[in-house]
Each structure stands twice: as C-alpha cells, then as structure tokens.
Amino acid sequence: MKENIKIYSCSLYPAQINKKLSVEVVNLNEIQDFDFDKDLLSIVLFEWNDYQKIAKRLKTFRDKNISLICIDDDISPDNRITLLNNDIEFISHKKFVQLGSDELNQWVKHAKYKVLIIEDNQALALNEAKLLRDSKFIVEISSPDSMSNLFDIGFAPDLILLDLNKTKDSDVADCVFSLTKHYENIPVLAMSDVQRPQQNNQLKSIGVDEILARNSQVDALISKILEMIQRKITHSSHSVRESEKIYEFEIDDDSFDELSHFITANGTSDRSSVIWLKVANKVSLQQKVGFSGFNKIHKTLHVQLPDFGFKFDIKQTITDGITVLASDDMSRQQTQDYLNEVFSWVSKTYFNLHKKNITVALQAFVLTDLSHKSNKNMLINEAERLILNPKHNENIQYIAESEERKKFYLTKTKLINAIRQQSFKWLYQSILNAKNDDMELFQVMLRVISHDGSELQTLDYFNVANETGLLKILDRYTLKQALSVIQDGEEKGVKRYILINQSISDYESAKHRQEVLENIQGHNIPESRLFFQFRQDLSEDHLSVLDEISQDLKGSGIGICISEFDGSDKSWEIAKLFNADWIRLKPFSKDSEVLHSNHPDFVGNQIQKAQSLGYKVIVPNIDSADFTAQIWNLNADFIHGNFVQSPVPDIKYIENDQ
C-alpha cells in the first residue's frame, strides 16, 4: 500500500529533471512558515547551493520529522560529511532521475529499518551492530542457540545479517532453514571469507541471498543492506513476479491492486469499463530512438491523450508502453466510440524527438459489462496475459470469460500459492538399465500440493506453468532436491544417478546458467551422476544456444537427455546440437503401430539409429510384462514405467528392495 507523502523543493529543477515527480513537487518558497501537514510524510529536496537556506531551518525540519535529501553531482568529501552529520541524505542526479515517489520515500526511510545479526563471535557482532546503529538502523543480535528467544519477543527484521565463522556447515544450514521458515521472504546477507568459494556456494544453495566479503568497507556493507531491503520492499512479490517476465513488458503489482479495487467497487455496474492502451510498435521505436527516447514518447502520449468528453477514475501508466484507463460511466458502445476517437487522433499525431517526427501505433484491450462477469480478478489476469503477448495483433480485444481461461487462472493461483508455501512432495522412480545392472538410475519428480491437500497432476498444470514461467521455479526446486539426494547417497556410500526435468529457457541466460553451475559445483557432485532432461518441443525455439548450453553442462559433469523425442528431422538436429547422452522416446502404448517392423516410424529403427550415433535410449511408460519384453527385444538401453517400479515417496524404499 502506498503511503501519503508530500515532496517539497527549494527550486523547480528537481521537478524538471524527474518527470515522475513533477505533479507532486511543491516549491518550498511558497510554504509560509514551513507549515507542513503533520499527517503526511514530508520530503524536502535541495541542491548544495541551497544548503544555507536549509541549514537555517534544520531544527524546524527535525521537530516536524521531515526528511531532507540533497540532489547534486558529486560534491566534496567535506560537504558530504556535513550532510551526514546533519542526517541529510545525498543522491546523485543520475540516481534521482530514476526514482519515483514511492522509491524516494523508501530511500529516506532506512532509519526505521531493522537488521537481525546472527553471530558466533560476539565481539565481531558488537562491532557490526555499532556500525549499523551509527547509520540509524535498529539492530538485534542473536547466536544460533538463542534464536528461539528472539522469535518469542516478536522482533521483525527487514534483513538478516549472517556472520557465522566458527559454526559447522551443517549447523549453519539448520540455522538458515529456521530463519527463513520463521522470517518468510526476508533477505539474508552472509558475511564470508572470499577464500572459501565452496562454502559460499553452499550458503547460496541453502537460502542465503547474497554474500559479502568479511573485510568489506563499512559503506559497502551499508550500501548492500540498503539495496537488498529496498529491493525487497519495492518488489514484495518478486519471487513469483520474476517468473512471469516472459514477454517484453512487466505489469506493476500496484496497478493490479488499484484495478482490483475499482472493479470490486463497480462490479455490479453495466456502465463500468477498463481500457488498456498498448504501444504496439514499442520494439521498433526502441530500436529507432533508444529506451530513454521511447519512455519520453510514451510519457508525452500519456499526457496528451485526450479524454474526448469522458470522465476517467483511473488514468495512469502501469509500465513502459502501457496506459490503463478506468471509468465508472462508460458503456460497451461508448468504449468503442472512445477508441475510434483515440485511433483517429493517434494516426494524425506526430511526437517530436531529436528533431524527428515519430508515429505511434496503439492496441486496445477492453474489460466492460462488469455486472455480467463472475470472476473479475481473473479477467484482469486475462487482460494482462493478452497485453503481454507480443504476438497479439488485433486493434481492439474485448476481454471475455471462458471455462478454459477460468481453469487456467485457478491452476495458476494454486501453483503460485504452492510455490509461496513450498507445498510440494517428492517421488522417486527407478529406471531399469537393460545393459548395466550396477547402475542405479532414478528420476526425481516434484508433485504440487493444492491448499486443500489434493495433488495437482502434472498434465493438469504443465502448460499453465510453462506459459507463466512458473515451470522454471518448480524445476529449480527439483534441482535442489536432486543435489540433496546425490549428496546424501555419497555420505552413505551409495552411488546414485539422478534424472530430473529442467526448463531449457532457464538456461538460455549465460549469467544465470553460470550461477546455477557454480552452485552445483559447490556440492561436489561426482561427474555424470546428474542428468538434465529437456523436452524436445520446448527446445525447438532455442536452437541457437543449445551447443553453448551443452558445453557448459558437460563441462560441469552434467549429462543431457532429450525427452518427448519423436524421431523427426528436428529431433535429431536437437540431439546433435545438444550433444545428448540419452534420448527418451515420446510415449506410446504396447498396441501402437510404431511397434510393427513395417511401420515407417518403427521404434526398433529409431533405437538402432540413436545407438549408432552414440545416444542411449530410454523407453517410458512401460506398464506390463509383455510390453517390457517387446522393448527388451528391441535392445533399448533403459526401460521406465510403473511396471518396472511405481513412484515412491522415499528413495530408500527402492534401495531397500534392491
């Protein structure tokens, strides 16, 4: 929820360089006797050349709990110290122009921020606490053994600072688990020695968000803490929203809340409507005038957009290139009339930038006739889905309910809730190696548990998870579990080979791929014990990076399996680009014609071709003895299915049977 804030300035310059603040900045010279509204959080902006004006009124500002921010280019160290000594924040021009009102509010609020230090060296912790308190943070200190006392008193930190130099790694893991379970979604910053890369990777794998060298300067520590807290506040649902960045736009959470409130308040009206206007040629404009140029054009469009006689309760930019309008007095026909006017206006309007005349193309998405809609929040999600889809090309799209989209929305909601609560269970299924009895191969599978305790079937949620990007998050949990299973086996002297599903799109980014591989390497997993299974159909849009991904995975000792393999020319191309170890044939039944030797897609020919090219073949969904015999006679390398072994909730049940 946004706080009520008022922003004042000693000059018009801040408003001129930061258009996000232009309608909210009040000239301080127009305020008589500094009569500020006590019910509002007030912020005063000034440049260094106005410091003397501010200095004369410091006591007044302090008495009224007004926050002061100096906006300037780099100023001298002495002047920075002067600001610091007077509790005045400093922001460079470059940083300031990026801040909206809410972000500016957060920038000045860190005096209220709470940091919990978990330590096993009291002297070191006391020193860190003093540094943080000197920087106006509220600080509590606890050792791992006394955390329960801290939980009892209800201390609610904004960040956890972990500094455990003497504690055993296993105890550190237990400590982090307890903290993250009790303080859900609170960022964890660990202090560590740069000489311990293996331990640092382990810290990240157990829930630590970021690591800072123990010998870092004070300002680096303060800066990192502020950055992590402000990022958490600004993006409170970041863990889920991040997964939805699969298109060229990202919708702000606040806009959803405001629209949801509007629709709830006007849900019984047949004259309430919401219109989203999207710049359809955003990408080409960005290529032509750059990102900042496009932002200027869109802001100008938003300001100049005529109302054409209609009254709008909401008219705001919700992300670059998208404006939303909402009216409680606009029928379906009137939305059509309004949009006809808008399209006519924009077709005749040129936006001037760098002496160039720029034309803008618009698309509209309309939600109207609210009284006839049952699940209105679902329709906001549906509108966002259509808006965010770059392939959508209709000029006007009316948002309608359908049973299919209702099911999609409900499934998505269940997935998000399960991810937030980590409501999963794990199943393990043995894969029979027909060529090597000594190789114990298992597939680790994640099952999603709904809020009512029922289990979501993979077939029911896979497409939803893939379309929304949530599949990547589920697969990351599966990877974490697989590493734990292999590591547990090593500690018990059991050699486990694990196959898991992974999303190819999650490995397209070289940076993220490197982070994942560093995490895996930190677990000291023996080579060729972990195999990533990528779907053929989902790999077809990523051909250009398959070779690069393959080299990185193979270089880290990870094997590659291609699933849903259909024997097409494209499938063989993918296997070659991936330099795959295994291929997993697309499922078929024991009565399928592909088991007949005269069929053009005869399975036996596929197996023989794969093996001649150096690939081992997995045949899945084997559910009977005669089906097993058929596949065995075709010389498959691996046989997988419920007849071989049904999934079990604990891998020890399989190992005990063998």
Predicted confidence (pLDDT) per residue in 212-238, tens digit: 888 787 777 887 887 787 666 554 433
Lowest model confidence (mean pLDDT) among 146-150, 352-356, 562-566: 146-150
CATH C-level class of 410-657: alpha beta
**What's the pLDDT at 237?**
32
| Average pLDDT rounded to a whole number, residues 440-451 | 89
Fold of 253-401: Alpha-Beta Plaits (3.30.70)
Residues 6+ apart with CB under 8 A from 167: 120, 144, 175
Tell which wins on pLDDT, 579 or 413.
579
pLDDT, tens digit, 9 for 90 and up, residues 345-360: 999 988 887 677 889 9
Average pLDDT of the chain, as a whole number: 81
**What's the pLDDT at 391?**
66
| 354-379: burial string, b at 16+ Cβ within 10 Å, e else | eeeebebebbbbbbbbbeebeebebb
H/E stretch holding 628 reads: helix 625-633
What is the per-residue DSSP string for 166-230? SS-HHHHHHHHHHHHHHSTT--EEEEE-TT-HHHHHHHHHTT--EEEETT--HHHHHHHHHHHHH
CATH superfamily of 110-234: Response regulator (3.40.50.2300)
**What's the pLDDT at 105?**
63
The answer, yes or no, to whether residue 195 has pLDDT greater than 90, is no
**What's the pLDDT at 344?**
94
The one-character DSSP state at 648 is: B
Domain regions of the chain by residue span:
5-101, 110-234, 253-401, 410-657
The answer, yes or no, to whether residue 418 has pLDDT greater than 90, is no
**pLDDT above 70 coverage of the chain, percent:** 83
Model confidence at 544, pLDDT cuts 50, 70, 90, reads confident
110-234 matches 5-101 in CATH topology: yes
Fold of 5-101: Rossmann fold (3.40.50)
**What's the pLDDT at 500?**
96
**What's the pLDDT at 257?**
67
Lowest model confidence (mean pLDDT) among 33-42, 79-88, 195-204, 575-584: 33-42
**What's the pLDDT at 445?**
92
CB neighbours of residue 143 within 10 Å: 18
The answer, yes or no, to whether residue 107 has pLDDT greater than 60, is no
Model confidence at 479, pLDDT cuts 50, 70, 90, reads very high
Model confidence at 243, pLDDT cuts 50, 70, 90, reads very low
Lowest model confidence (mean pLDDT) among 438-447, 566-575, 603-612, 615-624: 438-447
